[in-house]
Every structure is written in structure tokens, then in C-alpha cells.
Structure 1
């Protein structure tokens, strides 16, 4: 293949997937270059031949690994002088991990600049926080932020700023939101340019920056985050522990929060001033909190949780896996929108709250998991099944 003749077209296609002619608009998907073609394009650009120069094989491999099949990035990085030393090449690759190449950034940003304000917000949320998450979850959170997620995601797909990747999850094929690493870097750099002070940026994702912010401001950290919509604190290696502690307590969290995941939450409750009306999903695995208001609630592994009440009639999903609850609360029976109830390994659950004549029961539940509930007797089990 003659890369010098076709690379100009590839670069244009990489910016936008639309090919317009006088008859109609055709959408054309441009595939990433495979490893062989990437290496050939890089070698032709730098050395004028199809293979890397002797001694530069490993560095060439590192360059194409960084570019992830993007012909624009390969051409830009390959335009550096072929006489550059291996040490200089290695140093530039390390620099790119923190500071994106300006030429690549400016070209990729053209498609971002063409978005409206909601679409830009969606793109930045995905680049900084939501990449590789399930599509339905991403839409759920973004719709709660009033970003018009359905059309926004479609626009990003049409402009090839994101893509859908099918994965196998719990006996189902589900779509996840994917984004090329260079586009993710571009989005994150846009946020980095908002301020030199991480605490004044719209989004934070680096653990070291978040840790420094919390350390310096202690319990007052979240009071400064008046518009926080998405909060995820977790230990990637062990969800049962978390190194975020507030010895003086936590006084305030923004009422604008839509999603909250806080594994190993160290306090007995969320701040009393917190109003969770906008919260659409909460996950507090291995935590102590006992009373929440949300549409989807997952408190799996909270082995100290002994009492629980449903405070939202809008709740559709509830998972209490591994908790120490002894009684199925009366509030469960009054929830007419609950469709999924997970009680696996609730091995102390032995009492079912009495269903009153005017309670709705569990008539809308389509998923019920009682595996591992060894203390439930026949009468209690019949009460649960009778409500469905």
C-alpha cells in the first residue's frame, strides 16, 4: 500500500466520518490501523523505508502503541527528525503521557469545537469519568444531569468521538462506551487548561490530585464542590477498604449529586444536611449507612448493616447482598415500582414485615434472588412469594 498517497485522505476521515456528495450524506467508518500497517506508516514517515531503522525497533513499537492505530498521530510524531537520538525519542514519549502533542490536540479538537454545550459536557464526562462504562448507565446519569444524553451520544458516535463496544456481562451482551485514548487525552487536556489549580477545574480523576485536595481542605473539601454531580471513591484492588477518612466528620455534600459510589464509607451516615432528591444511583459497598433515598441502591457487602428502610417510592432496584438485616422492612411492601430485589447471602434474614391490606406488595418485581438466605422459614418465604 502506498501510504504517502492515501494518508491525506485518512487524516481527513479521522476528523469527521461524514462524506458529503451532491446526492446524499454517507457515513463512513474509518478503522484503526493494525500493528503491521501502523509500523509501516511510521517507518516510511521517519526513515523512508518500510521497516524501523536498526536499533529503533523497540522505540517504534512504543510509538505505535501510544498512537493506537491513529494515522494522524503516527504522521505527526513521525514528522520529527530521523536524526533524533533514541534518548530524545524516549523522553518525548514519557512527556506525552502528561502533555498531549499540540498538533494532534489541535486537529482532534476541531470536532469537539463543533459540538453544542450539552454535547461538549457529555464528551468531557466520558473522557474524564465514564469511559468503559455501560451505555445504559452512562445515559441514566447524563439524563439526570439534563444533558439530553440520547441525542448527545448519537452525535458523538456520528462524529467518531466515541464508539460502542459489546462485552459479555452477567449472561448478557451489553454496550459499553469506548473512546480512543488520544481523544480521551484531548478531552482531559481541555479540562486541565481550565485552571492550574485542580480544585478549580470542572472534573477531577487523578487520584493524587484528589488526595491532595482532600488532605489540604479536610472535612471542608466537599463544601467547595457546590456543583459536583458524580462522586466515585473506591479502592480498585479491594473494595472493602478505603483510605478516605474524616476524623472531624463530614458536614456537607452537594444536593446536586446524581451518582455516588463510596466503598468503605467510614462514617455512620451521610451529612444530615444532604438532600438526595437528584440522586439516581448510590453504591456504598462495605459501608455503614442505613437509610437512603434513591432509584437504584446497591449496598452489597455492608456486613454491619442490620436495619434498612426504603425512603423512595421511585426506587426500582435494591441489592442488600451480604448485609446483616434480620427483617424485610414494611417499606418494601409499599414500593410499587421495585422491579429487582437482591437478598443473596442475607443469612440473618428471618422475619418478613407484615403486609398491610392497602400495601402494593411486590407485584412488579421481576428479579428476586434469595440464595444464601438460610434463616428464612417456610412461612416467611410464602409471605414474600405471596406478595409477587
Structure 2
């Protein structure tokens, strides 16, 4: 359009031809035909965006990260930002329908995922998996890492070595909302002294909502366990599922490839929408 020619060239040059950066930056500049703003006012907005981008320093990747960060910052709803960070840390590659069920009540996932798709921060594959470009995921995880140098003081912990250290030390009771740990990926030397972790270390995490464990051994009582929304525990070695672990807040339980034989009574799961017991012989 007339008046935008030089700005388009400058923005394209800024992105260095990177398709992701072009797509994301373009989504942030898009204006509907029904938008009441005039062309002249839109040119001013585009010029302002060019100035803000040019203020960023560093190499192309840093600039692209800067573009992505600005798109994230521009999300109007806190729930959309929180949803994006949860997906970036725990749910990339998962079925979108399942993720919507798990995260809808607290983070309005059905509308939020649509918003993230429209802002080019997320896509859905033909087989209904959540797909996030690596640079976008790195940006989201960087946002979480910048909350604190100490993983125990962040809202989400997903790196296996950090998760193991947090659980072993029992930190993070006031901050962690989501935690993932795959013991198969923890260095053998780091866990040689203590293979089983104590349930009390998780019980101290008052804000924990999302817990993903893979081949983790826990010992101890499940009394005062956090009010989880999502419990994913692959390769669980428990023979009986403790009733105190089955709180009414649980929306999804995934106990694939474990050794469960029974559930303790009483088992009342008012909020449960998903139950996965893949790998069991009935």
C-alpha cells in the first residue's frame, strides 16, 4: 500500500529473510479491514515499531528473539501469557484437545490457544499436536529462566538436572507451578547416592499444579500433597494408587507403563476428564 513501501523493505531487512521472524513480526502489524484507524495513523504505528526494533542490539538471533519477546509482551491477557509459558515448558508435541481439557479451567486454554495461533506463537499439526517453533519455545523458556537464577524460585522447572536438584533439596514451595523430571535423563553420577526421592519434598510445593514424572521413585506419605490439576507419572513403581494422591482437583491422570494394580478407596475424582493407563494388561 502507498506509504508503506519503505517500511516494508526495512522490516524485511531487519528480519534477515528469516521466515519465522517475518511471520511473527507481520502478525503484530496486521490490522483488520474493519479497524477504524486511518492509514496515516497506521504508518505512524509501523514507524514506531521500526524504531523500537532498531533499538535492539546484537546478532540476528538476538533480534529475532527480541521480536518474539515483543509479541509475547503484547499479549493483552495474563492468562494467555501463562498459557503460552506452560505450553512452551511442558506441552509442545502433546494433543491439543487434551491440553485444552487440562488447562481450560485455570488458563482458558480453548480461547487462549486460538490467540497464540493468531499471533504466530503456536501451530497445530494435521494430527492435532501442538507445534511451537524452536526459537519461540526458547523465548518462552528464557522468560521463565529470567524470573530467577535459582530454579527453585522460578514458576516452572523442566530441565531434568535442575528438577532433580530442586526435589532432592526440597526447595521451591512458594513459586513452582509446574515441574517435569525424567530420571532416565539425569546423569548417573548425580543420582548415584539417592535414587528415590521423598514425597515430602513435593508436598512442600504449595503452588504446584502440573507434575510430570517419568520413571521416578518416590517414598513416603502422600499426606498434604499439592492440589494438582495434571499428574503424569510414566513408569510408576507403585502397586496401589494412594487415595491421598487422587485429589478432587485432578483433571488429567496419565499413569502409562507403570505397575499399578489397584486404586485405594475412596476414589472420588470430581474434576477428572482424562485417564490414561496405557501399557496395562486388563
Given that 1:121 and 1:147 are in contact with CA atoms closer than 8 Å, whether structure 2 keeps it comes out as: yes
Match of 2:164 in 1: 211
Deviations 1:135-164 (CA, angstroms, capped at 9, x unpaired): 1011111113x2111211111111111111
Match of 1:108 in 2: 68
Q: 1:281 deviation in Å?
A: 1.7
Would the alpha carbon gap of residues 216 and 187 (structure 1) be closer, same or farther in structure 2, given more than 3 Å must change?
same
Deviations 1:234-280 (CA, angstroms, capped at 9, x unpaired): 2xxxxxxx2x223445544212x111121222334455544521212
Match of 2:205 among 211, 225, 230: 225
- Counterpart CA distance in 1 for 2:14 and 2:235 is 52
**SS where residue 246 of structure 1 aligns?**
strand
Q: 1:224 deviation in Å?
A: 2.5
Q: 1:14 deviation in Å?
A: 2.9
Match of 2:146 among 193, 198, 206: 193
Given that 2:235 and 2:259 are in contact with CA atoms closer than 8 Å, whether structure 1 keeps it comes out as: yes
Given that 1:249 and 1:267 are in contact with CA atoms closer than 8 Å, whether structure 2 keeps it comes out as: no
Deviations 1:185-230 (CA, angstroms, capped at 9, x unpaired): 0100111111122122111111111112222334222122212222
Matched, 1:119 2:80: yes
Given that 1:222 and 1:252 are in contact with CA atoms closer than 8 Å, whether structure 2 keeps it comes out as: no
Q: Which structure is richer in relative contact order (CA contacts within 8 A, separation 6 or more)?
A: 2
Match of 2:13 in 1: 7
CA RMSD of aligned residues (A): 2.9
**SS where residue 143 of structure 1 aligns?**
helix
Matched, 1:245 2:217: yes
Deviations 1:106-156 (CA, angstroms, capped at 9, x unpaired): 321111111110000110011111111111011111113x21112111111
Please report the TM-score for the alignment, with normalisation by the length of structure 1.
Answer: 0.49
Please report the TM-score for the alignment, with normalisation by the length of structure 2.
Answer: 0.66
- Counterpart CA distance in 1 for 2:219 and 2:207 is 24
Which structure shows the higher helix fraction?
Answer: 2
Would the alpha carbon gap of residues 13 and 246 (structure 1) be closer, same or farther in structure 2, given more than 3 Å must change?
closer
**SS where residue 166 of structure 1 aligns?**
coil
Would the alpha carbon gap of residues 15 and 76 (structure 1) be closer, same or farther in structure 2, given more than 3 Å must change?
farther
- Counterpart CA distance in 2 for 1:298 and 1:229 is 18
Given that 1:287 and 1:299 are in contact with CA atoms closer than 8 Å, whether structure 2 keeps it comes out as: no
Corresponding residue pairs, total: 214
Q: Structure 1: where are the runs of 5+ without partners? A: 26-74, 79-100, 168-174, 235-241, 303-321, 323-345, 347-388
Q: Structure 2: where are the runs of 5+ without partners? A: 1-8, 36-56, 171-196
Matched, 1:182 2:160: no
